[in-house]
Amino acid sequence: MAELDLINNKPRELCEVCYYHDRIGVKSKRVLGIELFYDKYQHLVQEALENDGQMTSFPKWWELRFSMSCNLACRICSPANSTKFMNELSPHKDSLPAPMAKSLGRVIDLFDQYGNLSDSNQFMKELWDHIDEVDYIELHGGEPYINKRLWEFLESLSTTDHAKRINIYSHCNLTSVTDQQIEILNRFVGGRVNVSIDAADRENEFIRYYSDWRTTEQNFPKFGHLHEGFVICIGTSVSAYQACTIDKLLIWLDEFLQRHPDLNVTWLVWPVVKPDMFRVDLVPLELRLATIERIKAIAKECFACNEYGHAKGMKYGVETLINLLSNQIQPSQEQIDSFISYTKALDKVRGQDSFTMFPT
């Protein structure tokens, strides 16, 4: 069983993302989970060890993707996680590189056959049937903050005693955040909100296609109205695209936090691992090292990493970013060719030029 293999440190192919993080000195989700929750749930680990991985206990942490409905089409995402991306690429399917076309076709077929998870009354029933077992719910998308049925579920759940126990972890692309959603979240014991910002201004709009930078800046501070049981994180997915310009994001974060010094923010930097054609490894090391020097110079003097009341969380992001950019893993020629092929194809569909937006 997968869980038992992990306990015994046996490699699993599906765990490549965490393995990559560990190799380059970035704390993986698995490592962070062990640090945060092992003491609380070590009795469940013991149960698995004593019963050859067989468990009567239900999972305490549920990661749910209610829907692939999304209003963005991020370059480093997949049509499998965004209806906007799927619909954008569908008319161009025959002109896409073979791997892209094959993947897109599979996504379209699966979506036509099964639709979204939140459309399933059976799923919703089973979720309610087992809610007694749940301590943490992590919400992925698509975009969770535009899924009507998800918020109907959360509102109903928030009126029960379960809300006193359950933590809500959510991911938000900052295109739509309402006062009602903040009110609903505040009824739960706590959790975490990851707001997705991958670059500054026009570069963010380029990567997170269809996003509007002004809206991003306006919606972010709304999460400051969550109670202290919630942690607000800036989630930055770093890829080969913005590896040499990511220092611009730190400059913006510094300016933003000076305007909102009471906002308690941690910076979580996540290397893009899958597909491997997006990894920062593709960018020549000397260019990444030059970016690191700029980042260090900014971090040494900036408000966000020094005077800011939650500077520790910002420094964590800087340290992670430096570890990521300084890794010396060599990319394969296949990765490089795939990146170039994909980028040219998407640039053609969108009438864009990645190499003008991100010159090296």
- Each residue's pLDDT tens digit, 92-134: 988 888 888 888 899 899 888 888 888 889 999 999 999 999 9
Give me the pLDDT at residue 296, please: 99
- Residue 180's domain comprises 60-357
42 with 87, same domain: the answer is: no
- For residue 7, the model assigns a pLDDT of 67
Q: Are residues 20 and 75 in the same domain?
A: no
Helix (DSSP H) and strand (DSSP E) numbers for the chain: 15, 6
Q: Residue 192: what are its φ and ψ, rounded to 5°?
A: -150, 145
- Cβ neighbors of 135 (< 8 A, separation 6 or more) are 60, 61, 165, 166, 167
State the sign of the Cα–Cα–Cα–Cα dihedral 306, 308, 312, 317.
negative
pLDDT of residue 43: 86
* 237 vs 119: which has the higher pLDDT: 237
> What is the 3 state secondary structure string of 223-287?
HHHCCCCEEEEEEEEECCCCCCCCHHHHHHHHHHHHHCCCCCEEEEEEECCCCHHHCHHHCCHHH
CA dihedral in degrees (341, 344, 345, 347; nearest 10)? 150
- pLDDT surpassing 80 at residue 4: no
**Residues 139 and 52 reside in one and the same domain:** no
Tokens of 26: 């970035």
Do residue 251 and residue 323 come from a single domain?
yes
- In percent, how much of the chain has pLDDT > 70? 98
Q: What's residue 28's pLDDT? A: 86
- What's the confidence (pLDDT) of residue 8? 73
Q: Domain tally for the chain?
A: 2
171 and 275 part of one domain: yes
User: Last residue of some domain: 23, 38, 57?
Assistant: 57
CATH number at residue 194: 3.20.20.70
Q: Are residue 308 and residue 176 in the same domain, yes or no?
A: yes
Quote the CA–CA distance of 39 and 50 in Å, as a whole number.
Answer: 18
Q: To 10 degrees, the CA torsion angle through 56, 62, 67, 69?
A: -160
Closest CA to 232 of 188, 196, 270: 196
pLDDT of residue 17: 86
Q: Are residues 235 and 310 in the same domain?
A: yes
The arithmetic mean of pLDDT across residues 37-41, rounded, is 87
Domain boundary among 15, 34, 57: 57
Peptide bond just before 275 cis, omega within 30 deg: yes
Mean pLDDT score, 269-278: 93
Same-domain check for residues 66 and 18:
no
In this structure, the number of other CB atoms found within 10 A of the CB of residue 66 comes to: 23
The more confidently predicted of residues 120 and 239 is 239
Tell me whether residue 217 is exposed, middle or buried, using C-beta atoms within 10 angstroms of its C-beta: 0 to 12, 13 to 18, 19 or more.
middle
Same domain, 70 and 52: no
Our CA dihedral for 167, 269, 72, 83, rounded to 10 degrees, sits at: -70
Query: What pLDDT is recorded for position 1?
Result: 60
Question: Which among 37, 46, 55 is positioned nearest to 167, based on CA atoms?
Answer: 37
86: tokens are 């799927």
- Give the C-alpha separation, 276 to 288, whole Å: 18
Q: What per-residue confidence (pLDDT) applies to 54?
A: 82
Lowest mean pLDDT among 5-19, 110-124, 307-321, 345-359: 5-19
Q: Are residues 101 and 25 in the same domain?
A: no
Boundary-marking domain end, from 30, 57, 84: 57
pLDDT band at 2 (very low <50, low <70, confident <90, very high): low
- Which band of pLDDT confidence, cut at 50, 70 and 90, is reported for residue 3? low
* Mean pLDDT in residue range 231-250: 97
Give the phi and the psi of residue 302 in degrees, each rounded to 5.
-75, 155
Residue 61 bridge partners (DSSP): 136
Helix (H) or strand (E) holding 35, with range, is helix 29-50
- Give the neighbor-by-neighbor strand order of the sheet with 190-196: 61-65, 136-140, 167-172, 190-196, 230-238, 265-271
Using the predicted structure, report yes or no on whether residue 237 has a pLDDT greater than 70.
yes
148 with 1, same domain?
A: no
Position 125 scores a pLDDT of 94
Highest mean pLDDT pick, 36-40, 64-68, 115-119:
64-68
Which of 12, 85, 14, 32 is CA-nearest to residue 270?
32
Structure tokens at 274: 């899958």
Q: Which tokens sit at 107?
A: 């996504």
66 and 53 within one domain: no
Note the pLDDT of residue 101: 86
Residue 5 has pLDDT above 80, yes or no: no
Check residue 58 and give its pLDDT. 84
Tell me, letter by letter, the H, E, C secondary structure of 203-225. Answer: HHHHHCCCCCHHHHHHHHHHHHH
Computed from CA positions of residues 224, 228, 229, 234, in that sequence, does the dihedral angle turn out positive or negative? positive
